[in-house]
Amino acid sequence: MKSGFILVDKPSGMTSFDVVKRVRAVLGVKKVGHAGTLDPLASGLMLIAFGEGTKLLEYFIGADKVYEVLAVFGATSTTFDADGEIVSTGVSNKIEQEEINKIIQERFLGLIDQVPPKYSALKIAGKRAYELARSGVDFDIKSREVRVYGVEVAEYDWPEVRMRVSCGSGTYIRSLVHDLGSELMGVGAYVKELRRLKVADFDLDDAVSLDEAVDSLGHVTEVSSLEEFVVGLYSVELDSVDIQGLADGKVLMGKKIDYEWAMAFHEGRLVGVVEPFMEGIKFKKVINVS
């Protein structure tokens, strides 16, 4: 089975699932997934894994991320971005950059409460929130705690402001911009452009476009090995006897790790993921790559 991962620069106007479908069709591999959805309007970095690589995605879905967002002030949107119905707030006040920075520092850094957009892929009573919203169903989404490490104003050209946002997993940039607009004298704001620049230690500069990644002959280029995928993650080295015992369902006593999991290697090859158990470790996931 083919296994590996690719870094793709998703174009705006395409869903994350569209990217997965195209890679799946070209590879002829059923097991294809990604480490975090991007809105259709958004572009930027997607980590696409296939084959045994999909077993590793859960260790990146919760990773920190960096975005570049172009916000438009003076209006709101039903979807919090340019894909929705744009409505002027009627508030024409020009907010200076210094005031924007002040509100960001006071209200939008560290652990903050945030309500995700109703037009999102969150599930409400078994259905996607965006499906309910499109059907005109009235519902509420509970606020959640998210972490924002930094918001830097990169360009100020009122009413458009470009910002760079570093944040933890689960942060909705659309909600961040919407809430920022509400805090600034009710002037309102929505996302015009959104680009993901970084996921964990993976950078957009190392990604290729989808067209470049999948060439006309149906071969995927720019494919990286699973070993390259997990560089930087906590790992342990195992010998062949250890691996055989773990594969037989045994606990490797005396071998301890300091985290909830660790990548298990043998002679430079990724063989699985181990976790603490009693006074040793056991396999949490086995990577079957010939």
Active site amino acids: 39
**CB-CB neighbours of 76 under 10 Å:** 23
Q: Which two three-digit tokens encode residue 276?
A: 């603490």
Exposure string over 144-154, b if 16+ CB within 10 A, otherwise e: eebebeebeee
Closest CA to 6 of 162, 181, 202: 202
Residues in the chain: 290
HEC-encoded secondary structure of 245-280: HHHCCCCEECCCCCCCCEEEEECCEEEEEEEEECCE
Q: Which two three-digit tokens encode residue 229?
A: 């995928």
